Amino acid sequence: MDRILLEHGSGGKKMHKLIREFFAPEFEMESFGDSAVIEGLNSKQLAFTTDSYVVSPLFFPGGNIGDLAVYGTVNDLAMVGARPLYLSAGFIFEEGFLINDMKKILASMAEAAKKAGVKIIAGDTKVVNKGKADGMFINTAGIGVIEDGIDISPKNIKIGDKIIISGTIGNHGVAVMAERNGLSFNPPVLSDTAPLNHLVQEMLGYGGVHAIRDPTRGGLATTLKEMALESGLCFEIKEEAILVAKGVIGASELLGLDPLYIANEGIFVAFVKNDAAEKMIDALKKNPLGRGSNIIGEVVESPVEKVLLKTRIGGTRLIDMLSGEQLPRIC
What is the 3-class SS of 199-243, one letter each residue?
HHHHHHCCCCEEEEECCCCCHHHHHHHHHHHHHCCEEEEEHHHCC
More confident residue, 329 or 138: 138
Q: What φ, ψ does residue 103 adopt, rounded to 5°?
A: -60, -40
- Residues 283, 184: Cα–Cα separation, whole Å: 35
8: pLDDT confidence band, cut at 50, 70 and 90? confident
Residue 8: DSSP 8-state: G
Query: Exposed (0-12), middle (13-18) or buried (19+): which is 187, by Cβ within 10 Å?
Result: exposed
Please determine, for residue 327, whether its predicted confidence score (pLDDT) is greater than 80: no
* Domains within the chain, CATH numbers bracketed: 33-146 (3.30.1330.10), 154-319 (3.90.650.10)
32 pLDDT higher than 80: no
Return the number of other C-beta atoms located less than 10 Å from residue 153's C-beta. 17
Q: Distance (Å, rounded) from C-alpha 135 to C-alpha 118? A: 26
pLDDT at 84 > cutoff 80: yes
Query: 167 vs 29, which has greater pLDDT?
Result: 167
Looking at the DSSP assignment, which residues form a beta bridge with residue 180? none
Q: Does the pTM exceed 0.75?
A: yes
Would you say 327 and 262 are in contact if contact means Cβ atoms under 8 Å apart?
A: yes
Q: Flag the least confident range among 2-11, 204-213, 280-289.
A: 2-11
Instruction: Look at residue 298 in the predicted model and tell me its pLDDT.
Output: 98
For residues 4 and 309, which has the higher predicted lDDT (pLDDT)? 309
Count CB-CB contacts under 10 A for residue 147. Answer: 12
pLDDT of residue 82: 97
The whole-angstrom separation of Cα 169 and Cα 245 is: 7
Give the DSSP letter string of 20-60.
IIIIHHHHT-S---SEEEEE-GGG-EEEEEEEEE--SSSEE
Instruction: Give the C-alpha separation, 174 to 187, whole Å.
Output: 12
- pLDDT confidence tier of residue 42, bands split at 50, 70 and 90: confident
Could you tell me where the DSSP H helices lie in the chain?
A: 13-18, 24-27, 65-78, 99-116, 171-181, 197-204, 219-231, 246-255, 277-284
Grade residue 254 by pLDDT with cuts at 50, 70 and 90.
confident
The pLDDT value recorded for residue 225 is 97
Dump pLDDT digits (tens) for 172-231: 999 999 999 898 888 889 999 999 999 999 999 988 999 999 999 999 999 999 999 999
Give the model's pLDDT for residue 39: 86
Q: Average pLDDT of 304-322?
A: 95
Q: What is the mean pLDDT of residues 295-323?
A: 95
pLDDT of the residue at 10: 76
- How does residue 302 score in pLDDT terms, banded at 50, 70 and 90? very high
Amino acid, single-letter form, for residue 158:
K
Confidence of residue 43 (pLDDT cuts 50, 70, 90): confident
**Quick one: pLDDT band at residue 320, thresholds 50, 70, 90?**
very high
pLDDT for 21 equals 87
Indicate if the pLDDT at residue 101 is higher than 90: yes
